């Protein structure tokens, strides 16, 4: 059983993933590239995802076994926060389109919810 704090952090990851999917639903890469507010919204949720997972992994290191890309997600968060000038919107879009849905399904499974 996970601690209440880890469960709260995983809930935050779920919520941020769901927001990314809501923000990008029905959008194209071209629309994303032209919409700075959308880019900012997606990047902010990426920061939340990475930070929540970092904190959860600090509390429960075995989480890395359940979320194989955990370290890469945290590194991506650090890039968004500290290396923002070098962030490629195309890469962020790809992560939002491909990786976020997989992460959401994985976290839902960890939390005992259906995808």
Q: 29-85 pLDDT, tens per residue?
A: 999 999 999 999 999 999 999 999 999 999 999 999 999 899 999 999 999 999 988
Tally of domains within the chain = 1
Burial code (b: 16+ CB inside 10 Å, e: under 16) for 71-80 equals eebbebbebb
In this predicted structure, what is the pLDDT of residue 77?
97
Query: Would you say residue 16 lies in a domain?
Result: yes
Q: How much is the pTM? A: 0.94
CA distance 16 to 46: 7
Residue with tokens 């500290």: 82
In this predicted structure, what is the pLDDT of residue 2?
78
Query: Would you say residue 62 lies in a domain?
Result: yes
With cut-offs at 50, 70 and 90, classify the pLDDT of residue 92. Answer: very high
Query: Would you say residue 115 lies in a domain?
Result: no
How many CB atoms are located within 10 Å of the residue 109 CB?
Answer: 12
Contact predicate 77/52, CB 8 Å: no
């Amino acid at each position: 059983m996970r601690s209440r704090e880890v469960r709260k952090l995983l809930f935050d990851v779920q919520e941020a993933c769901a927001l990314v999917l809501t923000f990008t639903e029905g959008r194209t890469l071209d629309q994303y590239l032209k919409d700075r507010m959308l880019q900012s919204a997606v990047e902010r949720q990426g920061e939340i995802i990475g930070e929540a997972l970092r904190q959860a992994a600090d509390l429960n290191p075995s989480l890395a076994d359940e979320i194989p890309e955990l370290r890469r997600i945290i590194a991506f968060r650090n890039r968004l926060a500290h290396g923002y000038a070098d962030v490629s919107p195309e890469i962020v879009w790809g992560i939002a389109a491909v990786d976020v849905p997989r992460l959401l399904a994985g976290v839902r499974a960890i939390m005992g919810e259906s995808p």
